[in-house]
Amino acid sequence: MRKKIVAGNWKMNTSVAEGVELAKGIVAKVAEISKGVTLIIAPPFTHLVPVAEVLKGSPIGLSAQNCATEPKGAFTGEVSAAMLKGIGCNYTILGHSERREYYGENADKLTKKIAMAFENGLKVIYCVGEKLEDRNFNQHFDVVSKQISDVLFTLAPEKMANVIIAYEPVWAIGTGETATAEQAQEMHAFIRSTLSAHFGEKIAENTTVLYGGSCKPSNAKELFACPDIDGGLIGGASLKADDFIAIAQAW
């Protein structure tokens, strides 16, 4: 059975002190969430150690927003998957559209990063999603299919148990414009059928597929009611404990 997950991507926001307060606010309310829903937060690298301390003893998962392609060595500015695991991370986001767009993350780099994450016991939240022009030219299915096949199809089937997919249409990220429930469900069903064609129906059915893109308390209910939407990857609305918790209560 696939899991219901709500994950917060804090991006490059909050000071360490603010991040610790935000994490404390989420921990204080986690009991208000149904047991069947997993919460994950992804603070910036600098916040991970103190936030891990706040999360100790809580059921909330800790994620990084990225990891290095290499295990260690002369790679100035990088943070390895082993370092992340060592300080208590259980997950890393990979392939976020902002990293694809601004930092040249391509299939080759993402394949290496996923291998590093798995070697070090991290699960991966793998992001896919089309740009507005792709959708306008009716190429959104092709783009998402390629983002999946170029990277995830290189994995042995059993590794898919450690992958969560986040469908995030780039035109909906941080714009206030959300995909309609119909658009999101259509793409989520397509993602599941793409997985099914390669890995088989069982793996496709067991893979959690999150929606991301201006998801907030006011629209989460409608989105999460869709049969192939298993939760959300939340940016802006994850920076307020009340909103993040309200989204996780949307089922």
Which positions are catalytic?
96, 168
Nearest CA-CA partner of 219 in 165, 182, 167, 171: 182
Tokens coding 60: 């909330």
Closest-by-Cβ residue to ligand PEP is: 235
Give the residue with the Cβ less far from ligand PEP, 82 or 181.
181
Q: Which stretch binds ligand PEP (CB under 6 A): 49-57, 69-77, 133-141, 227-235?
A: 227-235
Q: Which stretch binds ligand PEP (CB under 6 A): 12-20, 22-30, 154-162, 210-218?
A: 210-218
Give the residue with the Cβ less far from ligand PEP, 205 or 242.
242
| C-alpha distances out from residue 143 to 19, 133, 134, 220, Å | 34, 11, 7, 25
- Per the CB < 8 A criterion, the answer to whether 199 and 209 are in contact is no
Nearest CA-CA partner of 90 in 54, 48, 128, 127: 48
Supply angle C-alpha 197, 114, 86, rounded to 5: 140
Q: Which of 94, 143, 234, 247 binds ligand PEP (CB under 6 A)?
A: 234
Nearest approach, Cβ of residue 177 and ligand PEP (Å): 9
Give the residue with the Cβ less far from ligand PEP, 80 or 214.
214
Q: Which of 233, 241, 247, 248 binds ligand PEP (CB under 6 A)?
A: 233
Per-residue binding string, ligand PEP, 146-185, x by CB under 6 A, is ----------------------x----xx-----------
What is d(CA 96, CA 101) in angstroms, rounded to the nearest whole number? 9
- Per the CB < 8 A criterion, the answer to whether 166 and 125 are in contact is yes
Q: Which stretch binds ligand PEP (CB under 6 A): 29-37, 46-54, 128-136, 228-236?
A: 228-236
What is d(CA 113, CA 81) in angstroms, rounded to the nearest whole number? 8
What is d(CA 141, CA 193) in angstroms, rounded to the nearest whole number? 11
Q: Which stretch binds ligand PEP (CB under 6 A): 26-34, 62-70, 82-90, 229-237?
A: 229-237
What is d(CA 35, CA 76) in angstroms, rounded to the nearest whole number? 41
What is d(CA 32, CA 72) in angstroms, rounded to the nearest whole number? 41
> Which residue do the tokens 């926001």 mark?
13
Q: Could you say which residues in the range 22-51 bind ligand PEP, by CB under 6 A? A: none
215 touching ligand PEP, by CB under 6 A:
yes
Q: Could you say which residues in the range 50-79 bind ligand PEP, by CB under 6 A? A: none
Residues in the site for ligand PEP, rule: CB under 6 A? 9, 168, 173-174, 212-215, 233-237
